[in-house]
Amino acid sequence: METLLVFLALLGVSSTERLFVGDQVLRVMARKEEHITLLGVLGEQEELQVDFWRHPNSLGHPVDLRVPFPSLQGVKKFLDFHNFSYSIMIEDVQELLDEEKESMRRSRRVKRSSRMFDFASYHTIDEIYEWMDVLVEDHPKLVSKVQVGQSYEQRPLYVLKFSTGGSNRPAIWLDTGIHAREWITQATGVWTANKIAKEYGQDPSVTAILDSMDIFLEIVTNPDGFAFTHSSNRLWRKTRSINAGSRCVGVDPNRNWDAGFGGAGSSSNPCSEIYHGPHAHSEREVRAIVDFIRAHGNVKSVISIHSYSQMLLFPYGYRRAPAPDHQEMNELAKKAVSDLAAVFGTKYTYGSIANTIYMAGGTTIDWAYDNGVKYSFTLELRDSGRYGFLLPSSQIIPTATETWPALLDIMVHVLEHPY
């Protein structure tokens, strides 16, 4: 045993770190309603430990599932027996994780001061928090760091505030990383924070926005989960709160909001990846944002950034009926995805959550919209499934770069359409 631990240490693997050797990600097509039901049944077999990366909620949409190596044979037999068509998207999950880890090691080996931050690499929570302090130091008249609460494990919840002065001005809220394993989102958050700071006084749109409004950006919205993805389980999604009476840890923080709470697309099972929690706003990480937005009272836009599947979404998720502002948001989304595609040709779909991907109760933007924040959007960043949550770091800057014009479109629209 001791020899094994030494060997793992040499590989840069901690003895508590979960490995995914031989696990595969399968893309399955559900062609009839019965298929969706069968995939739901498959997901409920806890012994199989199937992890849905894209959920089975509507016909014609691909379903991506990570299947642990010991379950592969059984799952493939099940799919064949029920006449599913499927393909292998990722042959060996651990190979991608090893490449990702090596890429981070290479970035650290290049001697950098904290002011030479590598935006093209993934970073730990400590590295991101340290960089936030540098950003504030470099732009003291524009950027400040605000603590809005503490996580379940007592980590600070930090928000970057971009402001040119004034009190209680109209504000835009952005968050990344509410789902811990979606590393491209925190990386895009860091790049975006730097972009906003650099472009004020240079870019007319950014300057106009910040001359009239404040921007708040929470980069690590789920710090406990994010730290856990670096230390123990790269594919952890939820928070890290203890669930009374269950051996399973954590709540899906994007099913925990008081908007259609407990509805379709969420689960009452604490072992589920989409467990909604014991009650709305049970998670400190969610409650902190709720309290902040309510206390502020003048937040005009909420943009919550996720991955993956290349979509720009707006309310509702918990019901199919169009939101009162559907037409305006649809037109804005259409322009934003067009400007995003103009950068590198990356194609996004857009529409309401319920009618574009699936019904989902308890989401951030539905709560924001129901609480008076008209311009509430969710971005699902790259990719469309080749790498899923394990997007190579070489795609960080291209992803952030193409996302920027879409964000700017939304923020300019908010500026120009006060309410």
Q: pLDDT-based confidence at 111, cuts 50/70/90?
A: low
- From 105, 18, 58, 118, select the one nearest 397 (Cα to Cα): 118
Distance of alpha carbon 105 from alpha carbon 72, whole angstroms: 31
What's the whole-number average pLDDT of the chain?
A: 94
pLDDT at 4: 46
Q: What is the dihedral of CA 360, 364, 365, 371, to 10 degrees?
A: 120
Q: What is the mean pLDDT of residues 351-361?
A: 92
Distance of alpha carbon 307 from alpha carbon 179, whole angstroms: 9
Q: What is the mean pLDDT of residues 126-141?
A: 97
Please list the residues that pair with 303 across neighbouring strands: 174, 377
pLDDT at 249: 97
Please give the share of the chain, as a percent, with pLDDT higher than 90.
88
Find out whether 66 and 22 touch, Cβ atoms under 8 Å: no
Residue 200's H or E segment, with its range, is none
Give the pLDDT confidence of 370-380 residue by residue, as tens digits.
999 999 999 99
- From 162, 264, 267, 157, select the one nearest 219 (Cα to Cα): 157
pLDDT at 61: 83
Higher pLDDT, 393 or 4: 393
Find out whether 81 and 38 touch, Cβ atoms under 8 Å: no
Find out whether 115 and 131 touch, Cβ atoms under 8 Å: no
pLDDT at 5: 46
Q: Specify the pairing of strand 85-90 against strand 24-29.
A: antiparallel
Collapsing DSSP states into helix, strand and coil, what is residue 156? Answer: strand
* Single-letter residue type at 115: R
Q: What is the dihedral of CA 220, 224, 227, 233, to 10 degrees?
A: -120
pLDDT at 109: 82
Q: Specify the pairing of strand 143-150 against strand 156-162.
A: antiparallel
Torsion sign over Cα 272, 291, 218, 310: positive
Distance of alpha carbon 269 from alpha carbon 256, whole angstroms: 13
* Single-letter residue type at 392: P
Structure-token pair, residue 402:
């193409």
pLDDT at 358: 85
Distance of alpha carbon 182 from alpha carbon 305, whole angstroms: 9
Catalytic residues, by residue number, are: 380
Give this prediction's pTM.
Answer: 0.94
pLDDT at 171: 98
Question: Out of 37-46, 156-165, 249-258, 310-319, which region has the weakest mean confidence (pLDDT)?
Answer: 37-46
Phi, psi of 235 (to 5 degrees): -100, 20
* Single-letter residue type at 84: F
Phi, psi of 80 (to 5 degrees): -65, -45
